[in-house]
Amino acid sequence: MSKKVQYELEYPVRCSPSILYEFLSTPAGLQEWFADKVDFRDNVFSFSWNGTMEEAEVLEQEEEEFIRLHWLHAPSEEFFEFRIQISEVTNETILVVKDFAEKKEIADQSQLWDYQVKDLFHRIGN
């Protein structure tokens, strides 16, 4: 199996960082767009899609800035992260998604994130 590499996607969003952060870091917010059902206990999110469950531990987070999660089944060096940045030029809010995938799968994984983030933007009225 080839080693996964980190990649990064950026999405401009018309939303305040505080509202966006709620959708990225709380069970209720994540359940709106990321998974069918989301629970949180002992620093671990449980995500459910069509009856399949995956768990991710919160590694780090900073209010209104970022949350970094680690899938419990993945190698320890891998994570996925939602980061909120403000463009110095346009002053617009930018959602940055960092994730890991095999090189040949980055395009497919990026499309999956595009789909998920489009749903998020729909939920926040973007």
Higher pLDDT, 103 or 126: 103
pTM of the entire predicted model: 0.93
Domains of the chain listed by start with CATH number: 5-125 (3.30.530.20)
Percent share of the chain, pLDDT over 70: 98
Q: How far is CA 84 from CA 8, 32, 53, 81, in A?
A: 13, 18, 27, 10
Percent share of the chain, pLDDT over 90: 90
With a cut of 70, say whether residue 25 has pLDDT above it. yes
Distance, in Å, from the CA atom of 82 to the CA atom of 95, rounded to the nearest integer, reads 7
| Tokens encoding 126 | 């973007």
CA-wise closest residue to 56 among 67, 41, 69: 69
